[in-house]
């Protein structure tokens, strides 16, 4: 009878195991984070939950815990930096070396604006009347008047000016009812203009006033191409090589700019200079942050902009005023760039990049030099463990390289985040660049002074980011500052008093500075590690695409200043509202895998506020059991994708869900994987029978 019972019960038990296996397979398929795990691990988990006892689960638990302790011996760069010095003499020298590169970034970006500034006062040149001494008489004979009584800038009378010049009584020939034609022989510009621009020299006014806008657009086309090309170049040739070559491009491009003789030559040269714009600063920015400890990165990243970049932006308009002409400005302004080229002899290569291409010994030599300069002593055993970690990372790095930007769009929630980040960053970029250029048209009679004041808002903006970002979180800071930029722009557009318009527009510029500093860091934190570098680079490139639209937006000021400011205002409010739909990253473990990224923010609500709601305090974890994620959360193109080099939180799981959480502990070529593979379902069944 027992045999019959066993015979009857066996199918029931088998069907129970089968149903469990199906449920587990669904769970595993949903929880499978990347393609880094071998198929037999999934099969093992399926058989495991359906066939082994709780004692066996505890046995495997103990093995994984022991293996996890072994994993803790792997040393990340962020683990090493406190040993060699987080912000010692070496890092302070690097911080000081950012000065020439901040100048290059400010000069390359803003010089284009001043070279193409439109003049405020001009009228048609008439060659036949050039010998008349009185300018007022020349205007009365050739230039019609507008409704407000001022002389027309783009029209002249259609008469025989040779006969007019030879006439004995020219005053009798003054007639406002004569037919009008556009200027045909060039223009006469105000001799009191303090700075002669390329716009004035090449006649980019009236019917040709769009040429200055085209030159600005072409500059940003070069920036888009340079961002893509130099990203590839930096990955293959190194960060320092990309930095120095981009500075060389800016140096020679600026020299040849001063030699341009027409629109075509000017635009081609500025296209080349634009290709250097992004790389000539972001590479040194990344390089410095890589060698600075996590505690100091927010301070160093923002203070470099506040202390170096902001003063140089304030200096650029006065340089233009001092040098008088756009040619001298381009030529003399390029001289300091030559000093930055000498940095090739002093700047260290990125240790992270060296490891990513297998040059581990070279990376360790640099890091030992860091320790020596900071007067720190690191034991040989510690260097040995770090070398082993780098070797393991180099093996696993190739797995991460199989991911592309398209991988982001294969997960619904992650794809939504990516689309939102692209639109938010494009909006922020357009608002920021639009406000930078708007300073040149808000008060055309005091351009230099207004532009200097507008650039001075960079300094308090950078400081405000440091104070608020890690207190109130990314989402609400982005929403608040982007929306405020939009609100002040709308106010400026609808005020009648020119002084009030100027003040409120500058307030909009201030908040645009702040939101621009927040945008890209936030995007880097939302994207998972395996695609972070590529995703951030793509978003950054889309920002340059958005900047292509800023010159046309500023061109709207020729129609109406209110139209330009209303456009910037509506964009600011739109960007602020979109910011509310991204998850908060403050006090959160950053996502490592695609599945982590797809699950990130599921438990957050739109009104979640880190400073006064859930997530105010960090969850207390044992120090060695978690890692906050990417060592560099900004523009780095060499993010780690290794499972060991980026440890995630190890949570003590319950027996029922233990295996489903195992992917956070398992990766190729690890002892954990080997031990689990040796422990088969057949072994579990043997123990059950015992």
Which of 163, 189, 215 lies at the terminal end of a domain, its last residue?
Answer: 189
Which of 558, 574, 608 lies at the terminal end of a domain, its last residue?
Answer: 608
* Residue 315, domain member (yes or no): no
What single DSSP character describes residue 307? I
% of residues, the chain, pLDDT over 70:
74
* Residue 524, domain member (yes or no): yes
Q: At residue 677, does pLDDT exceed 80?
A: no
pLDDT tens-place string over residues 596-611: 777 777 777 766 666 6
* Residue 79, domain member (yes or no): no
Task: Supply the pTM of this predicted model.
Answer: 0.73
Q: Rounded distance, CA 495 to CA 132, Å? A: 44
Q: According to the model, what pLDDT value does residue 688 have? A: 46
Average pLDDT, integer, range 286-300: 81
Average pLDDT, integer, range 672-684: 44
CA-CA-CA-CA dihedral for 629, 633, 637, 641, to nearest 10: 10
Average pLDDT, integer, range 651-657: 38
Q: According to the model, what pLDDT value does residue 28 have? A: 39
Tell me the pLDDT band of 459, cut-offs 50, 70 and 90: confident
Q: At residue 473, does pLDDT exceed 50?
A: yes
Highest mean pLDDT, choosing among 59-68, 160-169, 394-403: 160-169
* Residue 343, domain member (yes or no): no
* 561-579 vs 498-526: helix crossing angle, rounded to 10: 30
What radius of gyration do the chain's Cα atoms show? 32
Q: At residue 614, does pLDDT exceed 60?
A: no
Average pLDDT, integer, range 224-233: 83
Which of 584, 608, 632 lies at the terminal end of a domain, its last residue?
Answer: 608
Q: According to the model, what pLDDT value does residue 617 have? A: 43
Average pLDDT, integer, range 429-455: 89
CA separation, residue 29 to residues 44, 251, 284, 292, 642 (Å): 13, 54, 42, 40, 22
CA-CA-CA-CA dihedral for 569, 570, 572, 577, to nearest 10: 150
Q: At residue 37, does pLDDT exceed 60?
A: no
pLDDT tens-place string over residues 404-440: 778 888 888 888 889 999 999 999 999 999 999 998 8
% of residues, the chain, pLDDT over 90:
25
Average pLDDT, integer, range 517-521: 77
pLDDT tens-place string over residues 115-159: 998 888 899 999 888 888 888 888 888 999 888 888 898 999 998
Q: According to the model, what pLDDT value does residue 397 have? A: 58
Q: Rounded distance, CA 588 to CA 625, Å? A: 15
CA-CA-CA-CA dihedral for 148, 149, 155, 156, to nearest 10: 160
What single DSSP character describes residue 171? G
Q: Report the run of H or E that residue 155 belongs to, with start and end.
A: strand 155-157
Q: At residue 625, does pLDDT exceed 80?
A: no
CA separation, residue 2 to residues 16, 574, 688 (Å): 20, 74, 19
* Residue 552, domain member (yes or no): yes
Sequence-distant (≥ 6) Cβ neighbours of residue 598 within 8 angstroms: 411, 412, 413, 414
Q: According to the model, what pLDDT value does residue 665 have? A: 36
Q: According to the model, what pLDDT value does residue 533 have? A: 67
* Residue 176, domain member (yes or no): yes
Q: Rounded distance, CA 427 to CA 575, Å? A: 6
Q: According to the model, what pLDDT value does residue 399 have? A: 55
For the ranges 217-226, 267-276, 381-390, 394-403, the lowest mean pLDDT is seen at: 394-403
Mean model confidence pLDDT for the chain: 76
Average pLDDT, integer, range 332-359: 84
Q: Print the domain residue range for 495.
A: 410-608
pLDDT tens-place string over residues 250-282: 999 999 999 999 999 999 999 999 998 888 888
Q: At residue 458, does pLDDT exceed 60?
A: yes
Q: According to the model, what pLDDT value does residue 13 have? A: 39
pLDDT tens-place string over residues 45-80: 344 334 444 444 454 444 444 444 444 556 777 778
Exposed, middle or buried: residue 170 (CB in 10 Å: 0-12, 13-18, 19+)? middle
Number of domains in the chain: 2
* Residue 589, domain member (yes or no): yes
Q: According to the model, what pLDDT value does residue 32 have? A: 38
Q: According to the model, what pLDDT value does residue 194 have? A: 86
The CATH number given to whatever domain includes residue 506 is: 1.20.1250.20
Higher pLDDT, 190 or 401: 190
What the block records as the tokens of 574 is 């739109």
Tell me the pLDDT band of 316, cut-offs 50, 70 and 90: very high
Q: Rounded distance, CA 568 to CA 574, Å? A: 10
Q: At residue 530, does pLDDT exceed 70?
A: no
Higher pLDDT, 563 or 520: 563
Q: At residue 572, does pLDDT exceed 70?
A: yes
* Residue 684, domain member (yes or no): no
Average pLDDT, integer, range 602-621: 57
């Amino acid at each position: 009878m027992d045999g019959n019972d066993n015979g009857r019960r066996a199918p029931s038990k088998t069907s129970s195991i089968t149903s469990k296996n199906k449920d587990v397979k669904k769970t595993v398929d949903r929880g499978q984070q990347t393609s880094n795990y071998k198929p037999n691990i999934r099969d093992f988990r399926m058989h495991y939950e359906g066939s082994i006892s709780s004692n066996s689960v505890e046995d495997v638990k103990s093995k994984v815990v022991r293996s996890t302790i072994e994993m803790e011996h792997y040393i990340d760069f962020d683990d090493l930096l406190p040993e060699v010095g987080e912000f010692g003499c070496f890092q302070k020298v690097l911080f000081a070396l950012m000065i020439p590169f901040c100048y290059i970034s400010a000069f390359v970006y803003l010089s284009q604006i001043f070279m193409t500034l439109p003049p405020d006062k001009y009228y048609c040149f008439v060659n036949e009347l050039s010998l008349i001494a009185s300018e007022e008489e020349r205007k009365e004979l050739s230039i019609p008047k507008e409704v407000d009584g001022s002389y027309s800038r783009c029209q002249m009378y259609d008469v025989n000016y040779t006969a007019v010049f030879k006439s004995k009584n020219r005053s009798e020939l003054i007639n406002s009812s004569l037919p009008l034609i556009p200027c045909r022989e060039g223009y006469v510009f105000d001799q009191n203009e303090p700075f002669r621009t390329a716009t004035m020299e090449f006649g980019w006014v009236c019917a040709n006033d769009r040429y200055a806008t085209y030159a600005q657009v072409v500059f940003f086309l070069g920036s888009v191409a340079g961002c893509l090309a130099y990203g590839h170049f930096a990955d293959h040739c190194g960060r320092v090589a990309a930095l120095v070559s981009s500075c060389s491009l800016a140096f020679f491009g600026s020299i040849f700019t001063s030699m341009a003789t027409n629109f075509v030559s000017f635009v081609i040269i500025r296209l080349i200079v634009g290709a250097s714009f992004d790389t000539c600063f972001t590479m040194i920015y990344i390089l410095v942050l890589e060698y600075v400890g996590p505690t100091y990165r927010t301070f160093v990243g923002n203070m470099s902009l506040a202390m170096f970049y902001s003063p140089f932006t304030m200096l650029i308009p006065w340089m233009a005023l001092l040098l008088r002409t756009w040619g001298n400005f381009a030529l003399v302004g390029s001289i300091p760039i030559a000093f930055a080229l000498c940095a090739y002899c002093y700047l260290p290569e990125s240790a992270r990049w060296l490891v990513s291409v297998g040059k581990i010994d070279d990376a360790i030599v640099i890091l030992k030099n860091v320790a020596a300069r900071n007067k720190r002593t690191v034991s040989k055993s510690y260097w040995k463990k770090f070398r082993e970690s780098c070797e393991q990372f180099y093996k696993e790095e190739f797995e991460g390289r199989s991911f592309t930007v398209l991988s982001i769009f294969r997960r619904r929630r992650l794809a939504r985040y990516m689309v939102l980040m692209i639109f938010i960053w494009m909006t922020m970029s357009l608002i920021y660049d639009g406000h930078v250029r708007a300073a040149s048209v808000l008060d055309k009679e005091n351009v230099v002074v207004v532009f200097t004041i507008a650039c001075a808002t960079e300094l308090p903006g950078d400081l405000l980011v440091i104070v608020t970002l890690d207190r109130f979180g990314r989402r609400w800071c982005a929403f608040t500052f982007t929306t405020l930029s939009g609100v002040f722009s709308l106010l400026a557009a609808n005020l009648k008093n020119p002084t009030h318009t100027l003040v409120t527009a500058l307030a909009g510029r201030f908040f645009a500075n702040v939101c621009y500093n927040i945008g890209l860091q936030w995007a880097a934190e939302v994207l998972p590690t395996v695609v972070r570098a590529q995703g951030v680079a793509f978003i950054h490139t889309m920002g340059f695409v958005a900047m292509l639209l800023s010159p046309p937006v500023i061109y709207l000021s020729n129609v109406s200043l209110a139209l330009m400011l209303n456009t910037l205002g509506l964009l600011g409010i739109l960007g602020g509202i979109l910011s509310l739909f991204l998850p908060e990253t403050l006090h959160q473990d950053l996502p490592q895998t695609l599945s982590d990224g797809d699950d990130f923010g599921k438990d957050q609500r739109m009104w979640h506020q880190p400073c006064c709601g859930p997530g105010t305090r960090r969850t207390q974890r044992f120090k060695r059991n978690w890692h906050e994620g990417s060592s560099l959360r900004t523009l780095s193109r060499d993010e780690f994708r290794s499972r060991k080099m980026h440890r995630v939180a190890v949570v003590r799981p319950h027996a029922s869900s233990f295996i489903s959480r195992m992917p956070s502990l398992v990766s190729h070529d690890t002892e954990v994987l080997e031990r689990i593979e040796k422990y088969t379902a057949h072994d579990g069944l043997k123990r059950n029978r015992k």
